[in-house]
């Protein structure tokens, strides 16, 4: 596989771990240091491995663990950094996601995840229009 | 200045350029290659320098160019990569932002921006609760 294919595969493994509510897989997917961070939709940023993995463990333990589909992943690779941009389908919501991976010991490890809703348009055109106009 | 202080300063320059609707400043702030990307709130990802700078030029030329305050910037630096996480205040909205900078020729250049609303809680607790539970 090319580096790009490997990065896309690492991204797919991230979503597979979410769908399986698999904490052990998440622990291997995220980089093993405290320079990791995560912005869940609607949340403030979490920084550090304990905070990030803990948030996923809480989500997995919740009443409705997420079913997330990742669509249209595209990789932007510069040296040992891979930024995967994709669209997430979470129930009725459509989100845009940034997944930043770093090549550590020849494996792409996740160092940052940021997901936020984008498809407010279908449900509420006025609100989506406001979002577009202000930023 | 330390590298962290320099990265925080680069991040501040980004928001100053937005507040001034300054296209020339934006052209210098973003890295000078096509490995740049941007996810505006409510938008799909834009990739490439023309698409990214063009989107900002369109926003600046619009009827209500944004006034954005950046609060609580925190830098996570690994080698030549700096990830700045901050909170943006845009009118009544509160957003979480990821700003990824890369040290190129001794200057921190922006390579990725992702901003999405987080403060839905105040306006609509039910919706915020749903977001938290699904992801």
Beta strand segments in A8-64, E: 37-39, 46-47
Please determine, for residue B114, whether its predicted confidence score (pLDDT) is greater than 50.
yes
- Closest approach of A59 to chain B, Cα-based (Å): 7
As a whole number, the mean pLDDT across chain B is: 89
User: Quick check: helix, strand or coil at residue A4?
Assistant: helix
Write out chain B residues lying below 8 Å of A78, CB-based.
Answer: 35, 102, 111
Those of residues 68-107 in B touching chain A at CB distance below 8 A are 68, 74, 76-78, 81, 83, 85, 87-88, 90-91, 93, 95-96, 98, 100, 102
Size of interface A-B (CB pairs under 8 A): 142
The structure tokens listed for B61 are 């030329």
Is the separation of the CB atoms in B41 and A116 below 8 Å?
A: yes
The pLDDT value recorded for residue B119 is 65
CATH of the domain at B24: 3.10.450.50
The pLDDT value recorded for residue B24 is 98
The pLDDT value recorded for residue A119 is 65
Please determine, for residue A124, whether its predicted confidence score (pLDDT) is greater than 90.
no
CB-facing half-sphere around the CA of A53: CA atoms within 13 A:
18
Domain tally, chain A:
1
- The ipTM, to two decimals, is 0.87
Q: Could you say which of A111, A112, A128 has the minimum Cβ distance to residue B42?
A: A128
Classify the C-alpha dihedral B19-A47-B46-B124 as positive or negative: negative
CB atoms B41 and A135 under 8 Å:
yes
CB atoms A96 and B47 under 8 Å:
no
Average pLDDT of the residues in B97-122: 89
- Closest approach of B103 to chain A, Cα-based (Å): 12
Domain of A55, in residue numbers: 3-134
Cα–Cα dist A132/B16, whole Å: 20
Q: Could you say which of A42, A114, A131 has the minimum Cβ distance to residue B98?
A: A114
Beta carbons within 8 Å of A12's beta carbon, 6+ residues apart: A70, A73
At A36-84, the pLDDT tens digits run 999 999 899 999 999 999 999 999 999 888 889 999 999 999 999 999 9
CB atoms B78 and A35 under 8 Å:
yes
């Amino acid at each position: 596989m090319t580096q790009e294919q490997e990065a896309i595969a690492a991204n797919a493994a991230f979503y597979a771990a979410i769908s399986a509510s698999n904490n052990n897989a998440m622990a291997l997917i995220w980089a093993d240091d405290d320079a990791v961070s995560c912005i869940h939709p609607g949340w403030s940023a979490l920084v550090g491995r304990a905070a990030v993995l803990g948030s996923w463990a809480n989500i997995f333990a919740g009443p409705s663990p997420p079913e997330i589909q990742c669509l249209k992943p595209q990789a932007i690779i510069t040296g040992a950094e891979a930024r995967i941009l994709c669209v997430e389908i979470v129930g009725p919501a459509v989100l845009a996601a940034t997944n930043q991976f770093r090549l550590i010991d020849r494996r792409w490890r996740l160092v940052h995840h940021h997901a936020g809703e984008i498809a407010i348009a279908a449900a509420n055109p006025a609100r989506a229009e406001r979002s577009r106009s202000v930023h």
